[in-house]
Amino acid sequence: MTYQPAFPAAIQPAALALLEAMTTSQLARVHQGFQVNLQGELLSAPARLYCSPGDLRALIDHATGDHRTLALCLGTRHWNGYVREECLRRFIATDRPWTAPFLVQLLGEYVIEIVELIASTTPQATVQNLADFARENPKFMALTRQRATSYWDCYFRRHFPSLQTYPAIRTLNAMDALAQAA
């Protein structure tokens, strides 16, 4: 399915401009990724972006403030896992509600270095945004948990003998606990 971008009103113009800039060097067609609610508004992210890493880095480096953070969030949808990790490292400490879906989505992916980064460095300030996001998107959280469980079962069971010790599941459990406590 072809990607239909949608973002909260406050960031929609910036997101559309960034996506347009990213897709000018697109190497493949953009497909629909995840859709979530964010403070009552729809956010729809691409499955993957296939622009060149250099073009993406240049776009990020020329952006400032929230535009840069949004470009980094979109960079977590890049086809290259190293680029996704680099983008995550640069925005993980940002306290914006619209960063939460991009961070949570990565917990349901297969790159263990990214999962461990999220599990070990998610700042306390961001935790409330993650809990709010989890409360608003129970189906997305369940799907992310299913994906994380599947990757644990296929690739990481030997390293993490118990599912409950797998970093993605630990992080999702912590988010769920905070969401239920509030």
Is 6 inside a domain boundary?
no
Assign 3-state DSSP to the chain and report helix, strand, coil percentages, each to 5. Answer: 65, 10, 25
Is 88 inside a domain boundary?
yes
- The count of other CB atoms within 10 Å of the CB of residue 145 is 17
Is 3 inside a domain boundary?
no
Axis-axis angle for helices 53-62, 12-23 (nearest 10): 140
Residue 109 has what DSSP assignment?
A: S
Is 94 inside a domain boundary?
yes
Is 7 inside a domain boundary?
no
Q: What percent of the chain has pLDDT over 90?
A: 77
DSSP lists the bridge partners of residue 138 as: none
CA distances from 159 to 110, 154, 162, 172 (A): 14, 11, 9, 19
Is the per-residue pLDDT at 28 higher than 70?
A: no
Is 158 inside a domain boundary?
yes
* End-to-end Cα spacing for the chain: 36
Single pTM value for the model: 0.93
Is the per-residue pLDDT at 1 higher than 80?
A: no
Residue that is written with structure tokens 């072809």 in the block:
2
Higher-pLDDT residue of 29, 49: 49
Q: In the chain, how many domains are there?
A: 1
Taking phi over 0 as left and psi of -120 to 50 as alpha, with beta for the rest, 43 belongs to beta
Rounded to an integer, what distance in angstroms lies between the CA atom of residue 99 and that of residue 133? 10
Is 5 inside a domain boundary?
no
pLDDT of 110-141, one tens digit each?
999 999 999 998 866 677 889 999 999 999 99
pLDDT of 48-104, one tens digit each?
998 899 999 999 999 999 999 999 999 999 999 999 999 999 999 888 999 999 999
Residue 126: what pLDDT? 76
As given in the structure block, the two tokens for residue 130 are 């993650």
Mean pLDDT of 154-174: 96
Boundaries of domain holding 142:
12-181
